[in-house]
Structure 1
Amino acid sequence: MEIAYIVGFVVALAMALGLTPLVKKFAVRVGAVDAPNQRKVHTRIMPRLGGLAIYLAFMAAIMIALPLVSGEKPHVIWGLLLGGTIVTIVGALDDRFDLSPKVKLLGQIAAASVVVSFGVKVDFVTLPFGDGTQMGWLSIPITIFWIVGVTNAINLIDGLDGLAAGVSAIATGTIFVLALIMGNITVAVLSAVLLGSILGFLFFNFHPAKIFMGDSGALFLGFSLAALSVLGFKQATLVSFVVPIFILGVPLSDTFFAIVRRTLNKTPISAADKNHLHHCILALGLSHRNSVLVIYAIAAMFALSAILLSTVAQWVALIVIAVTLLVLQVGAELIGIVQKGRRPVINFVQRLLSLK
């Protein structure tokens, strides 16, 4: 089985390295470019559609790696490939024609529905220290909501050179490691191929970027990570239900804080702003490259926590979850990702210390 991981990764990496310059030329030729504005940090017109290189490299490598694996579930894999194709087409059209949010959302729901119809859904949930419960028909809307939510979360963090690609690579690598630990060959092969595709593209996307992934890349990566996390953790105990959330901790927490921020400010949840995690870290005075590296480190912390959660006793996992959430809240208050000067937890601790 090891040969499938290695071949899939190497072929995907090589394909992405070779395809990305070609996609760059194609993006410029068809007018799929990103112009700077007041919300964006780049100052020159950049080609997008880079996600097309990731997608094509992934598809080609999967076709080569899968024959090396026997006894797996090809129908599930075909569901992932079909759903990924749908969401990539939607993203590519948006990169060129700027589709409306409603059209993009419909495309994401369609892609999620396809993969669910092929059997990729959460079937079983176990409450802490309790008995399991079959999800029944609820597994369908819950899984679709998860896939669409993660897809948009990756799209939201795509604001700095190499940020979404690097965070996605860390998440994919984490899923690969956990799949190996659990003996899930299907997820391990898919993750190895996806990781190679991302890293090959990241060579051209890290600061200073030569090409952006665009919505074609952000939507494809978000969809793929969401689907792989469901496929790898279908029978969700408390720990395995939280593990994919931790794997995707950076984009999901950024999305959560954006919703809270916009709710408190009484602005539409879909309204864009410059208060995302990467904006806040840039505001601290860090350079573009260093800001991305700091977020990589945060993503790596979440990844290590996810691996730890999968290997410790449940009561230890609860402590890890509580500590991580506390650190996340304090960090959010320090950088002002919700509201500048709004520090309820920090102020509470300071009041406690002043009583002594």
Structure 2
Amino acid sequence: MYDMFIVILTCIATAIFSLILTPLVRKFALKIRAVDEPGERRVNLKEVPTLGGLAIYISFFFSLFFLLPIPFWQVMPIFLGATVVLLTGVIDDLIELTPKMKMVGITLAALIIYFVADIRLDSITLPFIGIWTIGVFSLPVTVIWILAITNAVNLIDGLDGLATGVSMIALTTMGIIGYFFLTVENAVVSIMIFVLVAALAGFLPYNFFPARIFLGDTGALFLGFMIAVMSLQGLKNATLITLIIPVVILGIPITDTVYAMIRRYLNKKPISSADKMHLHHQMMALGLTHRQTVLAIYCLAAIFSVIALMYPVSTLWGSVFLTIGSLFGLELFVESIGLVGKDSKPFLNRIRKFAKNLNKKE
């Protein structure tokens, strides 16, 4: 087991390194013109450098390789997969890849995780049934999981500090559950998670509104990929509950992605097409400011995290009722803000009035 004092010092060092490195990455992005220009689909009013994920990536892996006594063989396959995703994001930030080309890069990284890192979903223990071995479906399920989570995090990266903060909340929750409720092997994964949170903590001051640097696809894809991989590490021989927990933790990006797909299907548009009806767009349409919207979504992410923390200490039937209640509340919220494109005037008017009062106080 790792000395907690060393882990804490490593996290502090990682945060400081990220804090120092981020301005250097910002200058580099400006020099090579990796910038996000204002546009119809953008909320920024001036150009902002991207590639922010580089600072997080370098800080995180530097700490894993040189500051923590984690075996090289345990880190290297994850490093290889993450590097493929990062390079995919860098290329996209520079020349804008098509969705299919990005999927190719993420899929390649997922295959590295499956075959080289041996991180996969093999079986599920179902209540009253027993162990269900996935068998030949293990590969497609693992790849789809990584693709889905990676793209979900990428989709919510629409406001300053949004994806960074939501990822920090999700990762912290995963780390706590893994360290206190699961196995010793998961405790090691939890330490890696906390180091990644530290790297994000050093980056967030530059990324929060008004942002001086964006994650870019470089950072959003990298974060989504790492969250997907680290959640998978806790799902070997998973039970139904341990399978539900990471889905609940990632409730915000998953909800936004699922309803974006439903919305585009109903509007007869390609699933990969872009629109301005994501969760953050809808909340800003209610009258919330940029900063208020980000903070409100942080609160929503924290609510999902609290719910996820209840699962390890709940009985089976407690978990069932918790899931049903959460789904019911989520559906009411989604319909209220019009995430599928439908309006609910009475609720929206109350929210707008509340937002106006907040703006007057500011």
TM-score with structure 1 setting the length? 0.92
Q: Choose the corresponding residue for 1:87, options 82, 85, 88.
A: 85
Deviation track 1:82-129 (CA, whole Å, cap 9, x = no partner) reads: 111110011011111112222111000001110111210011102233
Q: Supply the distance in 2 between the matched residues of 1:3 and 1:87 (Cα, whole angstroms).
A: 32
Q: CA RMSD in A?
A: 1.4
Question: 1:331 is matched with which residue?
Answer: 333
Long gaps (5+) in structure 2: 346-362
The alpha carbon displacement at 1:316 in A equals 0.4
Question: 1:128 is matched with which residue?
Answer: 127
Q: Choose the corresponding residue for 1:12, options 8, 11, 14.
A: 14
Deviation track 1:226-248 (CA, whole Å, cap 9, x = no partner) reads: 00000022222111110010111
The answer (yes or no) to whether the contact 1:123–1:134 under 8 Å persists in 2 is: yes
Q: Supply the distance in 1 between the matched residues of 2:73 and 2:245 (Cα, whole angstroms).
A: 25
Identity of aligned residues (%): 43
Q: Supply the distance in 2 between the matched residues of 1:234 and 1:304 (Cα, whole angstroms).
A: 23
The answer (yes or no) to whether the contact 1:7–1:65 under 8 Å persists in 2 is: no
The answer (yes or no) to whether the contact 1:12–1:61 under 8 Å persists in 2 is: yes
Q: Supply the distance in 2 between the matched residues of 1:128 and 1:272 (Cα, whole angstroms).
A: 40
Q: Which amino acid in structure 1 is aligned with residue 101 of structure 2? A: V
The alpha carbon displacement at 1:3 in A equals 2.9
Q: Supply the distance in 2 between the matched residues of 1:313 and 1:65 (Cα, whole angstroms).
A: 39
- After the TM superposition, which residues 84-163 of structure 1 pair with which residues of structure 2 at under 5 Å, given as runs? 84-117=82-115, 118-163=117-162
- After the TM superposition, which residues 1-356 of structure 1 pair with which residues of structure 2 at under 5 Å, given as runs? 1=2, 2-67=4-69, 69=70, 74-117=72-115, 118-181=117-180, 182=182, 183=184, 184-341=186-343
The alpha carbon displacement at 1:75 in A equals 3.1
Deviation track 1:283-321 (CA, whole Å, cap 9, x = no partner) reads: 110111110011001101111111111221111001111
Q: Supply the distance in 2 between the matched residues of 1:144 and 1:96 (Cα, whole angstroms).
A: 26
Q: Which amino acid in structure 2 is aligned with residue 87 of structure 1? A: V
Q: Supply the distance in 2 between the matched residues of 1:119 and 1:103 (Cα, whole angstroms).
A: 25
Q: Which amino acid in structure 1 is aligned with residue 132 of structure 2? A: T
Q: Supply the distance in 2 between the matched residues of 1:294 and 1:307 (Cα, whole angstroms).
A: 20
Q: Which amino acid in structure 2 is aligned with residue 186 of structure 1? A: V
Question: 1:351 is matched with which residue?
Answer: none
Q: Supply the distance in 2 between the matched residues of 1:285 and 1:220 (Cα, whole angstroms).
A: 32
Q: Supply the distance in 1 between the matched residues of 2:113 and 2:130 (Cα, whole angstroms).
A: 28
The alpha carbon displacement at 1:136 in A equals 1.7
Q: Supply the distance in 1 between the matched residues of 2:13 and 2:128 (Cα, whole angstroms).
A: 44
SS at match of 2:22: helix
TM-score with structure 2 setting the length? 0.91
Q: Supply the distance in 1 between the matched residues of 2:100 and 2:265 (Cα, whole angstroms).
A: 21
The alpha carbon displacement at 1:341 in A equals 3.0
Cα distance change on mapping 1:300 and 1:56 into 2, 3 Å? same
Deviation track 1:144-194 (CA, whole Å, cap 9, x = no partner) reads: 100011100011000000000000000110111011112422211110110
The answer (yes or no) to whether the contact 2:337–2:344 under 8 Å persists in 1 is: no
The answer (yes or no) to whether the contact 1:48–1:211 under 8 Å persists in 2 is: yes
Deviation track 1:242-291 (CA, whole Å, cap 9, x = no partner) reads: 00101111001100000111111111111100000000110110111110
Q: Supply the distance in 1 between the matched residues of 2:233 and 2:344 (Cα, whole angstroms).
A: 39
Q: Which amino acid in structure 1 is aligned with residue 110 of structure 2? A: A
Q: Which amino acid in structure 1 is aligned with residue 13 of structure 2? A: V
SS at match of 1:66: coil
Q: Which amino acid in structure 2 is aligned with residue 79 of structure 1? A: P
Q: Which amino acid in structure 2 is aligned with residue 288 of structure 1? A: H
Cα distance change on mapping 1:322 and 1:104 into 2, 3 Å? same
SS at match of 1:126: strand
Q: Which amino acid in structure 1 is aligned with residue 178 of structure 2? A: A
The alpha carbon displacement at 1:7 in A equals 2.8
